[in-house]
Amino acid sequence: MAPAGFTVMRAVATFFATRLARALVAVWLVSTVVFVVMRLSGDPVPLLLPPDAPRSEYARVAKELGTDRPLPVQYGVFLGNALRGDFGRSIHFREPAASVVVAYLPATAELGLTAFALALLVAVPIGVLSAVRRNSLVDQITMAIALVGQSAPTFFVGILLILVLSLKVGWLPTSGRGDWTNLVLPALTLGAFTMASIARLTRSALLEVLRADYVRTARAKGLRERVVVIKHALRNAAVPIVTITALQFGTLLGGAVVTETVFAWPGIGRLAIQSIYNRDYPVVQCVVFVSALLFIVINLTVELIYGVLDPRIRPR
Amino acid sequence: MSDLTRRELLKAAGVAGAAAMLPSARPDLAEAQTTQKRELVVAQGGDIARFDPHFSTSSNEIRWTFNLFDNLVSRHPDGKLHPGLATEWKLTNPTTWTFKLRPGVKWHNGDPFTSADVKYSFERTWDPKAATRVNTVFTTVERVEAPDPMTVVFTTKKPDPLLAARAAFYGGQIVPKKYLETVGADQFNAKPIGTGPVRFASWTKDDRFVADANPDYFGGKPDFDRLIVRPIPETAARIAALLKGEVDMITQLSPDHAERVNTGNTRVVGALYAGLYVLAVNSKMPPLDNPLVKQALSLGIDREVIVKELWRGRGIVPNSQIAKGDNHYDASLPPLAYNPKEARERLKKSGYKGEEIVIETTSGYTANDKPMSEAIVAMWRDIGVNAKVEVLEYSVRAQKNRDKTFKGLWWSDPTSTLSDPDGMFWRLLAPGGPQDYWRHARFDELGEAARFSIDEKFRGQTYKEMTKIFLEHLPWIPVIQPYEDYGLQKHVEWTPNPNQQFEIRRFAFKFRRA
């Protein structure tokens, strides 16, 4: 037994090592691209000074910020500091970039997780229902709604929800962060696309599986339909659903930029946009770094879940 | 001035149309026109980054630093200078201004306010070690002295007729010497202490700034107990928050939305912007170095149509480079004319050979910038100008501004910081200024003379002569002087200030009580 266990351990270790190495390369590449693009696209100094500032002022502030140094030198400093977890001082807020980002993170986590949970809780049952009642009225209506949800831009959904549920019906606050009522509209807006995608994918993945031989066998055994669908079919349809769910996390991060702006939600999506406008390099770099890291961690987690769901994918 | 884009407007308008069919949940009319509220909630288009008044000139920040802090002199909505931390000020000789300070004023932490704070504040603005963002505001000042706790004496390098006006605007907020020296600049920014009508309570970035009314304020406690400021960047969401009654006042209301706000429990108030929207001209670039071409361009703009169609009437046609409301504004001059026939003739006389003339515009950085550019280019094509619009991102515009590399014309919305031509066109067009693309010996001589003269009659004549030269050479093509609009609940009584100060002191703000 011992040699076999050892092999599995080694396989798992190799699996992690390669994934981690890939992840580090990805984070480094992303940071470098952002570093270059930000610097090529604009200088923060003119944005900081009043329009009638004399040239000597520009030079002084550039020196203060270090933007007067050659790009390779700036890059070296950036990499060296980033390795130590130091992203520099925010140009706009005049405090450490990392602490700015950390202050904005909880709001995005709250919104993102709620949207995600909402999407899963609504979408999977709907997808299952549509698949089981294929071509019924329920199927047609829910899939039509899902199609709209997938095609409507986040901006439009957000403003529409504000105008209808908040302004006209008066149930919920229009914007801002506060108690749970403030969370409903932005979470719905942010989750809409994900919800629609997951619902549609659940339906098609389940339809595929429901045609499989083992499902027929299960039915032939006389199992109840509910057991057939949930235990035999859904479990086998889970891998594509989990995959798309993980990829959707990236969509959520992107959607947060628009959603947070529409709902005046103080999260890192809005921080990212403002920091780009202000050419606040340190904050943009830190936000991108944190987002890339989150995305990679989630994808790693998903790869582990695959193994749990499907023994065929377990590392050997 | 506003951060609204046309695309946003169109989107929001479409959605609004769909929602209009539903019944409204807005509060009952009569009951909402008075209030028992003790909390004032204001929504603005952007967040606050800094509370240290010497580190920001952005309107989202100065709205609040002017209320946390006081200046020696205060510019009220009537456009005039009134006592602030100084009760009186006078020119004791051509280069000496003496300010008498208000006795009995206390900082928010209880420390007494004295002339040492004033001396410290002014010196801090230009102190290289403090590295402030307002270090060019008081370049006319030679030194500041505090002969006794209630007197401050300014000696200027040359006579400065506008020192009191300078002291009233940004850079002039008085900060606490003792507190700032004890805690340092970072801590002061995080927990600012002033003398103003509100005291800092808390700030959650991008969420809310909370301040409490200062019960001991020398101008009287403001008409609320608590002030909450929320940044809501989306115009549609900001208006929704107002219409639903979640906020009492909103800033940066674009003319297109006025109709929606001017119904039910909410209304629009505006003040004529203390400044102009102009197309600044790179007069070094042929054919724009030819005054006749610039005159043709100016005559080719139908400003009435722009005011009516793009601004829904919320603006006036300027008559010169001096904004209405400023010192030495000449009301007898006619508004800038539209005359396409004359424009074509001047173009012909100039020898214009169809060279490309470019407007470099941002999209939504200043209100209506891109739509106005498109309209003006179409008008210029009608008179035979080969005109074109190019769209820039804001940071690129800021860089071109610094490097003076604009190709032709670009939008500028100069604020009149001193309610005087000196703080407006001369600040930008003077030799070495940020828009130094055109020189004229007589114009320059007059500008310098007016800047350093304390004889207002002489200054008036000087600006008249400068206006004549300006209208011939047009280093700017003035287009509109718009209104700066705000949305209010009807239970709010408030007078806006033309220069973007947001005045919540007793003389400008009150709740309508039942």
**Residue A3 has what pLDDT?**
60
Q: Chain B window 263-322: which residues touch A at a Cβ cutoff of 8 Å? A: none
**Residue A245 has what pLDDT?**
80
Evaluate if residue B26 carries a pLDDT over 60. no
**Cα of B499 to nearest chain A Cα, Å:** 16
Report in angstroms the alpha-carbon separations of B428 from A54, A97, B206, B274, B298.
Answer: 11, 34, 33, 15, 20
Say whether A47 and B394 touch across the interface (CB within 8 A).
Answer: yes
Q: Average per-residue pLDDT in chain B? A: 90
Residues B284-316: tens digit of each pLDDT: 999 999 999 999 999 999 999 999 999 999 999
Instruction: Using pLDDT thresholds of 50, 70 and 90, give the confidence band for residue A131.
Output: confident
Most confident of A257-261, B97-101, B263-267, B367-371: B97-101
Q: Chain B window 365-404: which residues touch A at a Cβ cutoff of 8 Å? A: 393-396, 398-399, 401-402
Instruction: Using pLDDT thresholds of 50, 70 and 90, give the confidence band for residue B5.
Output: very low
Q: What average pLDDT score do residues B448-468 get? A: 95
Say whether B246 and A277 touch across the interface (CB within 8 A).
Answer: no
Say whether A263 and B207 touch across the interface (CB within 8 A).
Answer: no
Q: Which of B54-63, B120-129, B242-251 has the lowest mean pLDDT?
A: B54-63
**Residue B32 has what pLDDT?**
56
User: Nearest to residue B300, comparing CAs of B333, B356, B346, B362?
Assistant: B346
Residue with token string 């506003």: B2
Residues of A in contact with B228 (CB under 8 A): none
Check if A93 contacts B (Cβ < 8 Å).
Answer: yes
Q: Which of A46, A95, A155 sits opposite B399 (nearest CB)?
A: A46
Most confident of B1-10, B51-60, B285-294: B285-294
**Cα of B207 to nearest chain A Cα, Å:** 6
Q: Chain A window 23-82: which residues touch B at a Cβ cutoff of 8 Å? A: 41-55, 57-58, 60, 64
Residues A45-65: tens digit of each pLDDT: 887 776 667 777 788 888 878
**Residue B4 has what pLDDT?**
38
Evaluate if residue B318 carries a pLDDT over 80. yes
Check if B28 contacts A (Cβ < 8 Å).
Answer: no
- Measured between CA atoms, the residue of chain A closest to residue B241 is A174
Check if B237 contacts A (Cβ < 8 Å).
Answer: yes
Q: What average pLDDT score do residues B78-94 get? A: 94
Check if B9 contacts A (Cβ < 8 Å).
Answer: no
B90 phi and psi, to 5 degrees?
-155, 160
Beta pairing class for B96-101 and B151-156: antiparallel
Say whether A42 and B208 touch across the interface (CB within 8 A).
Answer: no
Residues of B in contact with A104 (CB under 8 A): 205-206
Q: Please give the full DSSP string across chain A, using - where no structure is assigned.
A: -HHHHHHHHHHHHHHHHHHHHHHHHHHHHHHHHHHHHHHHS--SHHHHS-TT--HHHHHHHHHHHTTTS-HHHHHHHHHHHHHTT---B-TTTSSBHHHHHHHHHHHHHHHHHHHHHHHHHHHHHHHHHHHHTTTSHHHHHHHHHHHHHHHS-HHHHHHHHIIIIIIIS--S-SSSS-SHHHHHHHHHHHHHHHHHHHHHHHHHHHHHHHTSHHHHHHHHTT--HHHIIIIIIIHHHHHHHHHHHHHHHHHHHHHHHHHHHHTT--SHHHHHHHHHHTT-HHHHHHHHHHHHHHHHHHHHHHHHHHHHH-GGGS--
